[in-house]
Each structure stands twice: as C-alpha cells, then as structure tokens.
Amino acid sequence: MQKITPCLWFDDRAEEAATFYTSVFPGSRIVDVRRYGEAGPRPTGTVMTVEFELSGQRFVALNGGPDFTFNEAVSLMVDCATQEEVDELWARLSGDGGAEGPCGWLKDKYGVSWQIVPRVLMELVGDPDPVKSQRAMRAMLGMKKIDIQGLLDASEG
C-alpha cells in the first residue's frame, strides 16, 4: 500500500466518478467498494468509499454528502508524452459537463480540477536561455489546452 492516498469527497457520485476515471486512464481499475452499514450516516447499503487506481496511483472516493466541494486549490496533474495524449485526455475530462480553463487546467463533470501537461512544457519553461523560456511561458499563458507545436514555435521565436 502506498503511504499517502488522496481521498476525493463527493456528495453521492463516488462510484460513478471512479468508474469514469478508470475508463479514461489505461491500466486503471476499481480496487474495492465499501458500503454504509446501519451506523450510517448515509442509508444502509449505499456506497461509502471506492478505492481505485489510475495508472498505478491509488485514490479513494468518498460519498460524504454535500458539505464540501472541489476547487482549484487542489488539482491532479497528468504528465503527457504526446499531443495525442493531451488531446484525448483534454476531450474526455473536460467534456460532458466539464469546463476548460486556462494554461492546461480543466474541471471535469464532477468538479475535480486537472492539469493536462505535456512533458515538453516543463523543459521549455525551464530552458537555460531566458529568452526562449519566457517566450514559451507567454505562449502557454495564452492557451487553454496546451499545444506542443505552438510552444515549440514560440520558444524558437
């Protein structure tokens, strides 16, 4: 078991969200589903927690009620090797009720914030040449979904 496992608080859609997330990321799975018993606080037999794994990372989704909601203060950052991976994850996570944000950020239909980040972005904004680095940064700041070729073109001037 990993030492730290993020727990995502949902009102009552934990199992639906976990099923969706495991369909988006290859090599992912639902590990366990636990249900509320007579002690509550939710109705007996309803889903309490769903333990799931996304690309080797464990998460727990909790049906905790409407008291808390997600915001951008915490996001899940996804390292992408290619533009195709960026495009696919962006479309699947931001679609069907999700929302696109700036600079590679989006919210999915459950309100969870994600950063869909091509690996090359960190390389370009970390370039030892400050002119190239700042050109890449300015280009990224003007994007919603990150466009790798646009970053490369901007970096080279």
Q: What is the CATH number of the domain that holds 37?
A: 3.10.180.10
Instruction: List the one residue out of 57, 55, 81, 78 whose CA is nearest residue 8.
Output: 57
Look up the domain containing 94 and give its range. Answer: 70-157
Q: How many CA atoms lie less than 13 Å away from 1 in the CB half-sphere?
A: 9
Q: Count each helix (H run) and each strand (E run) in the chain, helices first.
A: 5, 8
Is residue 1 pLDDT above 80, yes or no? no
Among 62, 76, 68, 67, CA closest to 105? 76
**Can you give the pTM of this predicted structure?**
0.93
49/94 same-domain check: no
Task: Summarize pLDDT for 67-109 with one digit per residue, the tens.
Answer: 999 999 999 999 999 999 999 999 999 999 999 999 999 999 9
Average pLDDT over residues 148-155: 97
> What's the CA gap between 59 and 50, in Å, rounded?
8
How high is the pLDDT of residue 2? 86
Q: Are residues 88 and 123 in the same domain?
A: yes
Q: How far apart are CA 76 and CA 112, in angstroms?
A: 8
**The domain boundary residue, chosen from 17, 37, 68:** 68
The count of domains in the chain is: 2
- Is residue 36 domain-shared with residue 113, that is, in the same domain? no
Cα–Cα distance for residue pair 91/110, rounded to 1 Å: 15
